[in-house]
Structure 1
Amino acid sequence: MNIALIGATGFVGAAVLQEALNRGHKVTAIVRAPEKLTESPGLTVRKTDVYDTQDLAQALAGHDAVVHAFNPGWGEPQIRSLFIQGSQSIYAAAQQCATKHLLVVGGAGSLFVAPGIQLIDTPQFPAAYKEGAEGARQMLQWLQDKRDLEWSFISPPALLEAGVRSGQFRIGADQLLMNGQAPASISVADLAVAIIDELEAPAHIHQRFTVGY
């Protein structure tokens, strides 16, 4: 499979890049800082501005799938608006080049913890992540009535951590996964497994899903 990966130098993107290359896929890394990546068999690196939809469409052309692991940066004051702007540009670019599948990496904040209550709206949700989580929630809401592109949206569990690749995890839908009375976790390596699994055998077209131990 020929995969375009947006945000390949980030925490999630780097893990997705490694997983995809390890499985023998060809990957075009769409990044702001190409110098952060080293040469690797199957890897093409392209510097592209995600807010430039026309340039991005050219970069995405010819790929079987696009992974959106874009993040403006947790320290960015305008993270919410920039995430939405960049995400909508990615969607429009994928439309223009007739991409078969767009997989968006979102956050846990929009997962439900009770009927009508999402994690982001609970008092325990960390304030430092709220603006970014709100951007991801609004992007999910924007996507949910879109049917002109085959998209999927993955929310990690509440705890996304560095760790080993096990290849073993649960798959959920809109509810926050729990491990007994505590929120479930997953390693970023296993999140990457779930992402590439979805590209290889799509099971959540026009749906959000989550994963966790």
Structure 2
Amino acid sequence: MKVLVLGGTGFVGTNLCRELQSRGHSVTAMSRSPNSEDLPDGVEKAMGDVTDYDSIAGAFEGKDAVVNLVALSPLFKPDGGYRMHDIVNWQGTENVVKAAESHGVSRLVQMSALDADPDADTAYIRSKGKAENAVKSSSLDWTIFRPSIIFGDGAEIISFTKRLKGMFAPGVPLYPLPGNGKTRFQPIWIDDLTPMFERALEDDEHIGETYEIGGPEVITLRELTEMVYESEDKSITIVPLPMPLAQVGLTVLGAVPGFPMGADQYRSLKIDSTVRDNDAEAFGVDTSSMKTFERYLADRN
């Protein structure tokens, strides 16, 4: 199968390209700067920006399937403001759908987000909901994935925990966590997730399905943070930061040019990222066999 992976040089993209190629597919990775040295030999590179239809359309010609991974991170405030979520995540997806339909590419796998909803509380989740609607209203054979946070070498989650501390308590061993870090996550290892994308492309039974995918356990932001620092033999003392105070701080600081977080990140920290039913089983995966975040941290040291 000839597969075009948009966002192919990002964290998920490079790992997915490697997985697809290892299973015999011909892979093209597209991004705005397709010079990643992490891509395996034999993966073709294409330059394109999903917000510019003309820059991406030609790469769809002759492809059998497309995987759209392009999205701005929900963890940080985007350059250009929160309207950029709509421009990249939603309108970019509309361009992907249009290009696929115009060039005879019938198969689309779309990476979305848990609780994607056009009426959600955060700009990121709203844009993902609008993007899902664009996919579902298309003529394509689509599959949508809604994963919890994804971990692995090169993922944002570890750097995010450290950056969060740097914003609230730089230079001291105290770590104020909004809401005492009660936000819950169900992190999934990248190498457990990418084979599911490949199976979704191969098996027609996944057409027209939306899958919520999580890892083998639910952990809180506090537990996740403690695991990160303990894995590096660093000592921190977590203290609760009341959510109203976090709201004021992130809203005010979010107006400062260059500050990486804002009100939308505060709202995100109030929403659990866990699945209702883990659809990993739809791909024949026993969740007990999946790698935990703690195991990953131990293996990397």
Q: State the TM-score, normalized to the length of structure 2.
A: 0.54
Query: Is residue 2:132 matched to residue 1:140?
Result: yes
Deviates more, 1:134-143 or 1:87-96: 134-143
User: How many angstroms apart in 2 are the aligned matches of 1:54 and 1:96?
Assistant: 12
Match of 2:208 in 1: 206
Q: Structure 2: which 5+ residue stretches go unaligned? A: 154-183, 217-301
Taking the TM superposition and a 5 Å limit, the aligned residue runs for 1:147-162 are: 148-157=139-148, 159-162=149-152
RMSD of aligned Cα (Å):
2.3
Give the conservation status (yes or no) of the 8 Å contact 2:47–2:55: no
Deviation at 1:193, TM superposition (A): 1.1
| Bigger radius of gyration among the two | 2
| Cα-to-partner distance string for 1:117-156 (whole Å, 9 max, x where unaligned) | x9x66xxxxxxxx32222111211333333x111111111
Q: State the TM-score, normalized to the length of structure 1.
A: 0.74
| Cα-to-partner distance string for 1:47-78 (whole Å, 9 max, x where unaligned) | 11222323422111111100000124554223
Amino acid at match of 2:142: W
Paired residues in the alignment total 178
Q: Which has the higher strand share?
A: 1
Deviation at 1:38, TM superposition (A): 5.5
Taking the TM superposition and a 5 Å limit, the aligned residue runs for 1:1-213 are: 1-37=1-37, 40-73=40-73, 74-76=76-78, 77=81, 78-82=83-87, 83-110=89-116, 130-146=122-138, 148-157=139-148, 159-162=149-152, 184-212=186-214, 213=216
User: How many angstroms apart in 1 are the aligned matches of 2:115 and 2:15?
Assistant: 21
SS in 1 for 2:8: coil
Q: Which has the higher helix share?
A: 2
Amino acid at match of 1:151: W
Give the conservation status (yes or no) of the 8 Å contact 2:47–2:56: no
Match of 1:178 in 2: none
User: How many angstroms apart in 1 are the aligned matches of 2:45 and 2:5?
Assistant: 10
SS in 2 for 1:110: coil
Q: Would you identify which runs of 4 or more consecutive aligned residues in structure 1 move more than 4 Å?
A: none
Q: Looking at both structures, which has the greater relative contact order when contacts are Cα pairs under 8 Å and sequence separation is at least 6?
A: 1
Q: Structure 1: which 5+ residue stretches go unaligned? A: 112-117, 122-129, 164-181
- In 2 relative to 1, CA 197–53 (structure 1 residues): closer, same or farther, beyond 3 Å? same
User: How many angstroms apart in 2 are the aligned matches of 1:58 and 1:67?
Assistant: 16
Q: Percent identity?
A: 25
SS in 2 for 1:84: helix
Give the conservation status (yes or no) of the 8 Å contact 1:79–1:132: no
